[in-house]
Amino acid sequence: MNEDVIEKLLQGDEIRVEVSEDEMEAYVFVPASKMRNLTEERIRAILKKEKIASGIDEDAIERIISQKICDEKVLIAKGKPATTGENGRFEFLFNSEIKKNPKMLPDGSVDYKNTKYFQMVKEGDKIAEYVSATRGESGYTVKGRFLSAKPGKEVPPLKGQGFYMSEDKREYFAKVDGKIEIKNRLLMIEKVLIIKGDVDLISGNVDFVGDVHVKGDVASGMVIKAKGQVVVSGHVGAAMIEAGEDIILKSGISGNDKAVLSAGGDIHGKFFESATIRTLGNLYANSILNSEIEVAGVIQTNGKHGTIIGGKVHATGGITVGTIGSIAEIPTQVECGINESWVRDEQRLQGLKKKTKVELGMVLKALAAFQHLDECGNHAIQEDPRKKKLLKAKSIKEVELEALDSKIEELQNKIKSASHAKITVTNKVFRGAKIILHEHTMYTTKEYVNVSFIIKDGQVDTIVN
Q: Which pLDDT does position 410 carry in this prediction?
A: 83
* 44 pLDDT higher than 80: yes
Statement to judge: residues 97 and 73 lie in one domain: no
Judge residue 251's burial from the number of C-beta atoms within 10 Å of its C-beta, 0-12 exposed, 13-18 middle, 19 or more buried. middle
C-alpha span between 251 and 17 (Å, rounded):
76
Please, which pLDDT band fits residue 102 given cuts at 50, 70 and 90? Answer: low
C-alpha span between 365 and 330 (Å, rounded):
64
* 277 pLDDT higher than 50: yes
Beta bridge partners of 341: none
396 within some domain:
yes
Judge residue 357's burial from the number of C-beta atoms within 10 Å of its C-beta, 0-12 exposed, 13-18 middle, 19 or more buried. middle
C-alpha span between 110 and 233 (Å, rounded):
14
| Listed residues 131, 163, 189: the one ending a domain | 189
* 162 pLDDT higher than 60: yes
215 within some domain:
no
Quick check: 285 and 307 in contact, CB under 8 A?
Answer: no
* 164 pLDDT higher than 50: yes
Statement to judge: residues 94 and 73 lie in one domain: no
164 within some domain:
yes
Mean pLDDT rounded to a whole number for the chain: 89
Please, which pLDDT band fits residue 99 given cuts at 50, 70 and 90? Answer: low
Q: Which pLDDT does position 5 carry in this prediction?
A: 46
327 within some domain:
no
* 256 pLDDT higher than 90: yes
Quick check: 27 and 46 in contact, CB under 8 A?
Answer: no
Side chain identity at residue 357, one-letter code: K
Side chain identity at residue 44, one-letter code: R
Statement to judge: residues 71 and 143 lie in one domain: no
Statement to judge: residues 70 and 125 lie in one domain: no
* 111 pLDDT higher than 50: yes
- The stretch 86-99 carries a mean pLDDT of 87
Least confident piece of the model among 72-81, 102-111, 271-280, 294-303: 102-111
* 3 pLDDT higher than 80: no
Show contacts of 205-211: CB within 8 Å, 24+ apart: 210/178, 210/179, 211/118, 211/179, 211/245
Statement to judge: residues 52 and 98 lie in one domain: no
HEC states along 384-438? CHHHHHHHHHHHHHHHHHHHHHHHHHHHHHHHHHHCCCCEEEEEEECCCEEEEEC
Q: Which pLDDT does position 140 carry in this prediction?
A: 96
Side chain identity at residue 108, one-letter code: G
Q: Which pLDDT does position 381 carry in this prediction?
A: 66
CA dihedral of 55, 59, 61, 62, whole degrees rounded to 10: 160
Side chain identity at residue 144, one-letter code: G
Statement to judge: residues 98 and 174 lie in one domain: yes
Quick check: 270 and 234 in contact, CB under 8 A?
Answer: no
Higher pLDDT, 21 or 113: 21
Statement to judge: residues 94 and 169 lie in one domain: yes
Please, which pLDDT band fits residue 101 given cuts at 50, 70 and 90? Answer: low
Q: What domain range is 387 assigned to?
A: 340-418
206 within some domain:
no
Statement to judge: residues 96 and 169 lie in one domain: yes
* % of the chain at pLDDT higher than 70: 94
Please, which pLDDT band fits residue 9 given cuts at 50, 70 and 90? Answer: very low
Please, which pLDDT band fits residue 375 given cuts at 50, 70 and 90? Answer: confident
- The stretch 28-33 carries a mean pLDDT of 90
Please, which pLDDT band fits residue 185 given cuts at 50, 70 and 90? Answer: confident
Q: Which pLDDT does position 451 carry in this prediction?
A: 93
* 7 pLDDT higher than 60: no
How many structural domains does the chain have?
A: 3
Q: Which pLDDT does position 337 carry in this prediction?
A: 84
Q: What are phi and psi of 96, to 5 degrees?
A: -80, -10
* 25 pLDDT higher than 50: yes
* % of the chain at pLDDT higher than 90: 63
344 within some domain:
yes
Q: Which pLDDT does position 106 carry in this prediction?
A: 77
Report the alpha-carbon angle 404-407-412, nearest 5: 120
Statement to judge: residues 69 and 93 lie in one domain: no
Q: How far is CA 401 from the centre of its chain?
A: 30
Statement to judge: residues 344 and 381 lie in one domain: yes
136 within some domain:
yes
C-alpha span between 395 and 84 (Å, rounded):
51
Statement to judge: residues 56 and 33 lie in one domain: yes
Element (H, E) at 150: none
Find the radius of gyration of the CA atoms of the chain: 36
| Listed residues 142, 164, 189: the one ending a domain | 189
23 within some domain:
yes
Statement to judge: residues 20 and 60 lie in one domain: yes
Please, which pLDDT band fits residue 11 given cuts at 50, 70 and 90? Answer: very low
* 80 pLDDT higher than 90: yes
Q: Which pLDDT does position 304 carry in this prediction?
A: 65
- The stretch 122-148 carries a mean pLDDT of 94
Instruction: For helices 40-49 and 3-10, give the axis angle rounded to 10 degrees.
Output: 110
Q: Which pLDDT does position 10 carry in this prediction?
A: 44
| Listed residues 152, 171, 189: the one ending a domain | 189
pLDDT tens column, 329-359: 999 999 998 766 777 888 899 999 999 999 9
